[in-house]
Amino acid sequence: MKWVDEFRTADGARKLAAALRSLTTRPWRIMEICGGQTHAILRFGIDQLLPPEITLLHGPGCPVCVTPLEQIDKAIELAHRPEVIFTSFGDMLRVPGSREDLLSVRAAGGDVRIVYSPLEAVDLALRNPSREVVFFAVGFETTAPANGMAVYRARQLNLKNFSLLVSHVLVPPAIEALLRSPGCCIQGFLAAGHVCTVEGYGDYLPVAARFRTPIVITGFEPIDILQGVYLCVKQLEEGRAEVENQYARAVRPEGNPAARRLVREVFEVCPRKWRGIGEIPASGLRLRDSYAAFDAERKFALNTGAVEEAPQCISGLILQGLKKPHECGAFGVQCTPERPLGATMVSSEGACSAYFRYKRTHV
Amino acid sequence: MAKVDFSGVVKDVSLAYVPEAKPGDYVLVHVGFALQTLDEEEARKTLEMLAQMGELAPGEDPAA
């Protein structure tokens, strides 16, 4: 078992495409939640293998894309402070705030550093006791165990100069919000496998039942995605609405209990604003009061207030599956990965950047 | 911490969440943390479903 090659075979993809063609009798609209899957779909041309009746809608599962503008501006404000070493995953640096991005703060002399893991930010705090190290804790359920562990470690080490700017989001409440939205046309979901690796899929069972919508936990290789679509269409054609697990090699029903325990020790559920979508109840994580000393928003007095989005950017509609990237007038013209108007064009998981990189469209 | 080989690139990865992982296991890693050991039997089952799918549709040309 090589774990990747087996799930990328052309023969397997053709078989699944043929099986999908004989299975599909009418139009179906399925949303893949995760931006990683959106990129795989465009990169491998999976959308072109599907029967014409099946439309894949691209969901809001890109943490960089849904981080609200206010949080980006707070990050920028912190990064400008001379005492701060601002640390972040690389993707966040190009995301436009209301006036500038983190990369331009760095160009102007701000100490902004890219880390691969939040533990590297903890190390930086240990080695720089006279500086304040802030880590931009952005992500879904998949990233929460790592970011939570960074804070847990910092407290064990009795660090006074480490804090998180938190913008964590949760998938099941977002699926529910999409399904409740009046314009919703989504008939089935591919849920993000790696999110479920941590949290399992118990939270999806009531959503599938209440909204009569199939949810298939799906992996990230081409065969995984095609098989996820196949299982979802099979349910739709048979009138079923269940939670199925295509990605069983990495996802257990209960997820990873040790990771879930640590996440619940450090974080609590809170309402969270999603960029382009708005506030969704109980859709975020914030640090518990017992970890308040590590919360950058409580530690530093920040001036950032409410801010406006670029008016041409339709990323909100794209993140809800209501528009496709190439339907935007700015796509590829005023808005490119080098000069993005919105976060969906920036991130390696954003739908607009996937279309820009892989899809042949006339602009 | 453990050494994890990503197709030739070796990185230090925390096993805090997969304490059962043994040398030689394949793990799913995200931002420096192993989140799950991969289950070979489940992977085979997924691939078997694919193999059976070809047998179920013998009339169809897979290259079509």
The shortest CB-CB distance from B53 to any of A15, A149, A251 is to A15
pLDDT at B62: 42
pLDDT at A312: 86
Domains of chain B by residue range: 2-56
Cβ-Cβ contacts under 8 Å between A and B: the total is 101
Render pLDDT for A175-232 as a digit per residue (tens, 0 to 9). 999 999 988 999 999 999 999 999 999 999 999 999 999 999 999 999 999 999 999 9
Report the C-alpha gap between A286 and A269 in whole angstroms. Answer: 6
Render pLDDT for A226-251 as a digit per residue (tens, 0 to 9). 999 999 999 999 999 999 999 999 99
Instruction: Say which amino acid occupies A193.
Output: G
A197 with B31: Cβ contact below 8 A: no
The shortest CB-CB distance from A149 to any of B16, B62, B63 is to B16
Coil, helix or strand at residue A97 = coil
Q: Rounded to a whole number, what is the distance in Å from the CA of A227 to chain B's nearest CA?
A: 8
Averaged confidence pLDDT in chain B:
85
**Percent share of chain A, pLDDT over 70:** 99
Q: Are strands B9-13 and A28-34 parallel, antiparallel or unpaired?
A: unpaired
Among A336, A351, A343, CA closest to A64: A343
Domain B2-56 - what CATH class? mainly beta
- Which residue ranges form the domains of chain A, and what is each CATH number? 5-62+171-245 (3.40.50.11750), 65-168+264-297 (3.40.50.11740), 315-358 (no CATH)
Count of positions (residues) in chain B: 64
Q: Give A2's pLDDT tier (boundaries 50, 70, 90).
A: confident
ipTM over 0.90: no
pLDDT at B52 over 90: no
